[in-house]
Chains A and B, each alone.
Chain A
Amino acid sequence: MVALTIDGRKVEAGAGSTVLDAALAAGIEIPRLCHHPELTAWGGCRLCLVEVEGQQAPVPSCGLAAAAGMVVITHSEQLEAHRREVLDLLLSDHPLNCVICEKAGACDLQRYAYEFGLSESSHEKEIARKLYQDENAFLVRDHQYCILCTRCVRVCEEIVGASAIEVAQRGFEAFVATPFDAPLVETPCTFCGNCVQVCPTAALVPVDRIGKGREWDLTRTRTVCPYCGTGCGIEVATRGGEIVSVSGYGAPANGEFLCTKGRFGLGFVGHPDRLRRPLIRRDLAYSLGLIDTPPPAALGRSPLGRSPAAGETHVEVDWEIALDLVADRLAAVVKESGPDAFAGIGSALCTNEDNYIFQKLVRGVIGTNNVDLCARV
């Protein structure tokens, strides 16, 4: 631990932490756009500059290691003037469409423009980036909103390891590009969407949330991703009970980040085809006397024919009947062919407890070791 002074307050900082870390830990807010706690420091936005005693020019606090005895000032008239000017410059290169912007209420640039009272730029408006790319099913890249903080590039290289995107060109013409500006599907992109999550503006937006409401319309609920055994923490944003988007929130298993399934794969939750009640085959139901009409003979046999709807092939029954049926048939199989005729495969979508009970059932009740789980990777 090192002790330093920030804005006149004695602050303790852990080994290896930056001045920004130390300030944030002490509840001192410093404006920043390119900084992300999980990514290497970039130092491009110049908003987190602070004054350090003994140094002539302001220093970016995101890249400055906290040192014992350091005396730091995070807010001064000078610093605020520079921050204001930098934001003023940035706003000249950014559409101020906040009233119709998906990111309104969750946009870092909007927040700082509000804090500094900038309704528009005092400079000539000129937006260098024109590309609008929506060629994939997951995310839209609207380059005019990009502020080139490169969080997306860094997350793709450092966290995901895909390196699907990189800054291309330079200076005022620079933009975040795929190789040869190809569609994302032709790159190593896995559509994990972590770039979308770290984007501070509306440059990267999930397709599914467009037009579904803004930050203040959404209810955020933290839960665990249902997909695999990793148990990533996810934060589900809903509006009127409908899932709008999913993001990570800094959970123990996964930190802030998710894979494509957790982020973009929860569409089944509200899907009309989702199974909600047990179904049994019509022929079985007929033989058990649960329905009066036999099923049509040739239904669903031809690979060229339409696939039948669930209601045509199956009937809904209540849990009692379904479980009894399964128990009877299972017992019959075991009795006839021995317990090893049975094998069970658990699902990663179930909880640990459910899977434990399941293997207990297979081993202890049925009496075989033929049990496995798809999440044992």
Chain B
Amino acid sequence: MRSTVKVGTSTCGLATGAEATFRALQEAVSETGLAVSTQRTGCLGACHREPLVEIVVDGAHVLYGPVTADRARPLLEGHFTLHGAPPPPEDWVVSRTPDRRDYAFFAPQVKVTTANCGVIDPLSLEDYLAAGGYEGLRRALAMSPEAVVAAVTDGRLRGRGGAGYPTGLKWKICRSQPDPLKYLVCNADEGDPGAFMDRTLIEGDPHRVLEGMIIAAHGIGARWGYAYVRAEYPLAVKHLEAAIAQARDAGYLGTDILGSGLDFDVIVKEGAGAFVCGEETALMHSIEGRRGTPRMRPPYPAASGLWGHPTNINNVESYASVPSIMTGGAEWFSSLGTSESGGTKTFALAGAIQRTGLVEVPIGVSLRQVIFDVGGGIRDGHSFKAVQIGGPSGGCLPECLLDTPVDYGPLRATGAIMGSGGMVVVDDTTCMVDLARYFLSFTQDESCGKCIPCRIGTRKMLGILTKITRGEGDTADLDRLQQVAHTIHTTSLCGLGQTAPNPVLTTLRYFRDEYAAHIHDRHCPAGTCTALR
């Protein structure tokens, strides 16, 4: 009998006391003398039931949660029926099947990039190899670089950072540059409030991200890679650095990788707390030791990036999708999604719903499926009001748009964007004007100040919104908001400014009555705005 007890100890798990649970389990194992190994894993995504503990006995899985430290011993005794202890209460059980599909949260999900998260020990290269890791790299190295780029193109992978630029095309442009020194950057500066996909991926399965980067290096001909990780993610930095060290020792990084002649290595750079550094040119300035201000494009990084050399920048999730394209094939990968974009998309599901966490769904499923099937709908008897998708660059969509498929084009048509994957659901207790004001306060705070429309325009929009939430607004303010928003959107230098008005424009479009209530009735329907209570 081979038994393993796995505890999810990502940041989200740790925040609920997973470390204490893990220690209590270790103690209980040694005291009871059970022949059980304990293991730390990443996050399975079911954050609403954390701390999560999975007990695997001869391939039979039972997932428990929440398992606080005081439940550790009764859980072990109950599960292994020691000293005639009763089995753990049924409401501790999350699921009982290996693929966890008996739990509604997991059933509609298709786990590709997060397949290993919460399953393997992220700090163990052996675990990753046992799960099929670096097989994609082996296959890629057996192919010509052009064939690798073609496979990514055929898989219809689009940039998971939010803008959705076709990844294969990006690689092709970078590859075609004559400059022999090329760089590659992994953008893990996940700054959108309400988004934690990249954190979960790196914390739970750092080797997958690394493997994707190495395959990209082969495809593009890059010599050096930078992984730019957000400063607020110390655990992700630790895991990624450990994975890089292991990969170097095992010959997946360095010179002549796996005897293929490919030379590539990765350097981890920590961000220092600036949302705008998620913008690719700002990110490059930050790596170069400059203020993280964006610059004009063209030239695009693919032609002139770090220190003037061609540079390919992709998001964590984009890289994490690549190994699966190599192993599963471009055709399989593209068949997961829609005719426009292949594969899956992870979303950080949060807010006023029953089941929050990290979910991965095929591109093209509807918002309704994500929120109601996976997320289980609104909690505490409240009713759905809006879903905020895409963070400060995205928008708030009402119930009538819930059948919109999660895909780049259809979401952009609504005024929101796909974004990097933040999805916050709000119920009738949230004021949409206040939410718009919140996002503007964020972008205003994070504006780098380089261009006038963003530096001053967001400030003025915030001022108007604050006025409205205080009950001091008038009808002309709405026109003024719209007018300034239009100029900021059209004339700002970078994506931060260009998309900053989206939360305001979408709420104005879909929840104008709430603005009207604040202005005409001096009343906040949700009761959020304290000045209007």
Query: Do A and B share a complex?
Result: yes
Which A residues are within 8 Å of any B CB, using their own CB?
41-46, 49, 57-58, 60, 63-65, 81-82, 85-86, 89-90, 92-93, 122-124, 126, 147-148, 166-167, 169-174
Within 8 A of A (CB), among B275-320: 291, 295-296, 298
Q: Establish whether residues B296 and A63, one from each chain, have CB atoms under 8 Å apart when the complex forms.
A: yes
Q: Establish whether residues B460 and A124, one from each chain, have CB atoms under 8 Å apart when the complex forms.
A: yes
Q: Establish whether residues B491 and A46, one from each chain, have CB atoms under 8 Å apart when the complex forms.
A: yes
Q: Which residues of A contact B451 (CB under 8 A)?
A: 43-46
Q: A44-B451, A170-B448 are in contact. Are A85 and B484 (CB under 8 A)?
A: yes
Q: Which of B69-77, B256-264, B329-337, B439-447 lies at the binding interface?
A: B439-447
Q: A44-B451, A90-B456 are in contact. Are A171 and B445 (CB under 8 A)?
A: yes
Chain B 448-474 near chain A by CB (<8 Å), digits 1 or 0: 111111011101100100000000000
Q: Establish whether residues B296 and A60, one from each chain, have CB atoms under 8 Å apart when the complex forms.
A: yes
Nearest CB to that of A150 among chain B residues? B450
The answer for the CA separation of A89 and B458 in the assembled complex, in Å, is 10
Known: A123-B460, A172-B447, A172-B456. 14 other contacts (CB 8 A): A41-B296, A43-B295, A44-B450, A44-B452, A63-B296, A63-B298, A89-B453, A89-B460, A126-B459, A148-B455, A169-B449, A172-B459, A174-B449, A174-B455
A174 nearest CB across to chain B (Å): 4
Within 8 A of A (CB), among B458-508: 459-460, 463, 480, 483-484, 487, 490-493, 498
Q: A43-B296, A46-B493, A63-B296 are in contact. Are A86 and B487 (CB under 8 A)?
A: yes
Q: Which residues of A contact B449 (CB under 8 A)?
A: 148, 167, 169-174
Q: Establish whether residues A82 and B295, one from each chain, have CB atoms under 8 Å apart when the complex forms.
A: no
Q: Establish whether residues B492 and A46, one from each chain, have CB atoms under 8 Å apart when the complex forms.
A: yes
> Most chain-B Cβ atoms within 10 A of its Cβ — which of A49, A86, A89?
A89
Q: Which residues of B contact A123 (CB under 8 A)?
A: 456, 460, 463
Q: Establish whether residues A86 and B452, one from each chain, have CB atoms under 8 Å apart when the complex forms.
A: yes
Q: Establish whether residues B490 and A57, one from each chain, have CB atoms under 8 Å apart when the complex forms.
A: yes
Q: Which residues of B contact A166 (CB under 8 A)?
A: 291
- Interface pairs (14), CB distance under 8 Å: A44-B493, A57-B498, A60-B296, A65-B298, A86-B487, A86-B491, A89-B487, A92-B456, A124-B460, A170-B274, A170-B448, A172-B449, A172-B456, A173-B449
Nearest CB to that of B480 among chain A residues? A122
Q: Establish whether residues B460 and A171, one from each chain, have CB atoms under 8 Å apart when the complex forms.
A: no
Q: Establish whether residues A171 and B452, one from each chain, have CB atoms under 8 Å apart when the complex forms.
A: no
Q: Establish whether residues A92 and B460, one from each chain, have CB atoms under 8 Å apart when the complex forms.
A: yes
Q: Which residues of B contact A86 (CB under 8 A)?
A: 452-453, 487, 491
B98 nearest CB across to chain A (Å): 48
The answer for the CA separation of A123 and B449 in the assembled complex, in Å, is 18
Question: How many chain B residues touch A (Cβ–Cβ < 8 Å)?
Answer: 30
The answer for the CA separation of A134 and B455 in the assembled complex, in Å, is 27
B437 nearest CB across to chain A (Å): 16
Q: Establish whether residues A85 and B456, one from each chain, have CB atoms under 8 Å apart when the complex forms.
A: no
Q: Which residues of B contact A60 (CB under 8 A)?
A: 296, 493
The answer for the CA separation of A154 and B103 in the assembled complex, in Å, is 59
Q: A46-B491, A86-B491 are in contact. Are A167 and B455 (CB under 8 A)?
A: no
Q: Which residues of B contact A63 (CB under 8 A)?
A: 296, 298
Q: Establish whether residues B490 and A82, one from each chain, have CB atoms under 8 Å apart when the complex forms.
A: yes
The answer for the CA separation of A85 and B457 in the assembled complex, in Å, is 9
Contact among B459, B484, B491 for A49, CB-based, below 8 A: B491
Q: Which residues of B contact A171 (CB under 8 A)?
A: 444-449, 455
Q: Which residues of A contact B484 (CB under 8 A)?
A: 85, 89
The answer for the CA separation of A123 and B291 in the assembled complex, in Å, is 29
A47 nearest CB across to chain B (Å): 8
> Most chain-A Cβ atoms within 10 A of its Cβ — which of B298, B445, B448, B487?
B487
The answer for the CA separation of A171 and B449 in the assembled complex, in Å, is 4
Q: A89-B457, A170-B291 are in contact. Are A46 and B452 (CB under 8 A)?
A: yes
Q: Which residues of A contact B295 (CB under 8 A)?
A: 43
Contact among B480, B487, B493 for A82, CB-based, below 8 A: B487
The answer for the CA separation of A57 and B487 in the assembled complex, in Å, is 11
Q: A63-B296, A85-B483 are in contact. Are A90 and B452 (CB under 8 A)?
A: yes
The answer for the CA separation of A327 and B452 in the assembled complex, in Å, is 68
| Ranked 8 nearest A-B pairs via Cβ | A174-B449, A63-B296, A43-B296, A85-B487, A171-B447, A89-B456, A46-B491, A171-B449
Chain B 496-531 near chain A by CB (<8 Å), digits 1 or 0: 001000000000000000000000000000000000
Within 8 A of A (CB), among B95-131: none
Q: Establish whether residues B491 and A82, one from each chain, have CB atoms under 8 Å apart when the complex forms.
A: yes
Q: Which residues of B contact A174 (CB under 8 A)?
A: 448-449, 455
Q: Which residues of A contact B463 (CB under 8 A)?
A: 123-124, 126
The answer for the CA separation of A90 and B295 in the assembled complex, in Å, is 20
Q: Which residues of B contact A89 (CB under 8 A)?
A: 452-453, 456-457, 460, 484, 487
Nearest CB to that of A78 among chain B residues? B490
The answer for the CA separation of A174 and B444 in the assembled complex, in Å, is 12
Q: A44-B451, A170-B448 are in contact. Are A58 and B460 (CB under 8 A)?
A: no
Nearest CB to that of B463 among chain A residues? A124
